[in-house]
Amino acid sequence: MRRSRALLLVVAAAAAALLPACSSGSPSTLQPRGPAAQRIDGLWWFMFWIALGVFAVVIGMLLFGLFRRRKSGESVARGGGERAVVLLGIVAPAIILTTLFVVSLRDLNALSAPAKSDAMTVSVIGHDWWWEVRYPQRHVVTANEIHIPTGTQVLLHLSTGDVIHSFWVPQLSEKTDMIPGKTNRMLLEADRPGIYRGQCAEFCGLEHARMSFLVIAEPPSQFQTWLAGESQPIGSVTGAAAQGKRVFLTSTCVSCHTIQGTNADATDGPDLTHFGSRRTIAANSVANTPGNLAAWIEDPQGIKPGALMPPAVVEPRQLQALVTFLEGLK
């Protein structure tokens, strides 16, 4: 009796330790916000309840065997044993596994269904360690933020600029690998407005864990306004921003980045044309604030060790002007 009470205590302590982990703010596949994720969530719960049923039956039989006292004179071998082994050990697993297989196939098939005729196409290219996002119809290029209209199917073309990455937004979609020399497709759709965190799900090097991004789902009219704004080159700038622009165009920045409306047209790093409107820096590593941006430009390794961006060698006043210029690019 004392032993079973101790066992109960251990189970309760383990459950108490695990439960808080379930309620943290990290994105969960069990809080689906789109049709694909809902399907995956449904399959997960279906598998969970079947596994729980099997677990209960096995534990029940184990306990029954442990605690059932044999009557005096009762023989060990009793009839029906063999039949139970065939039923529970062969027939039941065959039925359960076949059912799970068929249901999984049905969902896999649904997830790879062709896109609707009015689906919008967006290309996402994985890089060590950030995401390039292209809206081909409007010649818009951005990074680490994917804006999509709610209630609209988005056909993603997923590819990579270097190694294998994997695109995953737990609340919206399945995982899809980005493989060198190949373009994979995936459908992304959000039911309601929100900001959904995505993450690279395939180990791709030192900063794999900080290869994150945001999917920003907006009502269609708001999305169109955003897209129209993004397709514009930068306007003229004055004062400190103009000085910052000069610093940008005469320093190492210009050899990796593009800013539409200037001579900067390199494509090794993210396009910065509308950098000031983005929420984060360095693929969702830190919030996009002037302080973080200055720290990032001066010492990228301090924020993201292994990042391929070299530090910019600029005077403090030049750095301040550069930050003013970049943060003003809305």
Q: What residue ranges bind ligand CUA (CB under 6 A)?
A: 126, 129, 165, 200, 202-204, 208, 211
| Cβ proximity to ligand CUA, 124 vs 190, nearer residue | 124
In angstroms, what is the minimal distance from the CB of 17 to ligand CUA? 29
The answer to whether the CB of 153 falls within 8 A of the CB of 189 is: yes
Q: Phi-psi category of 293—alpha, beta or left, where left has phi over 0 and alpha has psi -120 to 50?
A: alpha
Q: How far apart are CA 159 and CA 145, in angstroms?
A: 16
Tokens linked to 168:
């995953």
Length of the chain measured in residues: 330
Sign, CA dihedral 249-286-125-307, equals positive
Distance between CA atoms of residues 205 and 146, nearest Å = 23
**Which CB, 111 or 201, lies closer to ligand CUA?**
201
Pairing of strands 120-127, 130-135: antiparallel
Whole-number minimum distance, CB 314 to ligand CUA, in Å? 30
**Could you tell me if 160 and 124 are in contact, meaning their C-beta atoms sit under 8 angstroms apart?**
no
Of 159 and 252, which CB lies nearer to ligand CUA in the complex structure? 159
168/226 with CB nearer ligand CUA: 168
Name which of 168 and 248 has its Cβ closer to ligand CUA.
168
| Beta carbons of 177 and 184 less than 8 angstroms apart | yes
CB of 94 to ligand CUA, least distance (A): 38
Q: Measured from the CB atom, is 102 or 209 closer to ligand CUA?
A: 209
* Cross-strand partners of 258: 265
Nearest distance from C-beta of residue 181 to ligand CUA, angstroms: 17
Closest CB 201 distance from ligand CUA, rounded Å? 7
User: Which sign does the torsion angle of CA 82, 87, 88, 90 carry?
Assistant: positive
- Kindly state the smallest distance separating residue 203's Cβ from ligand CUA, in Å: 6
Of 146 and 204, the one with the shorter C-beta distance to ligand CUA is 204
- Interatomic CA distance for residues 259 and 275, integer angstroms: 9
Gyration radius from the chain CA atoms: 27
From the CB of 132, what's the least distance to ligand CUA, in Å? 12
What is the 8-class DSSP label of residue 244?
A: H
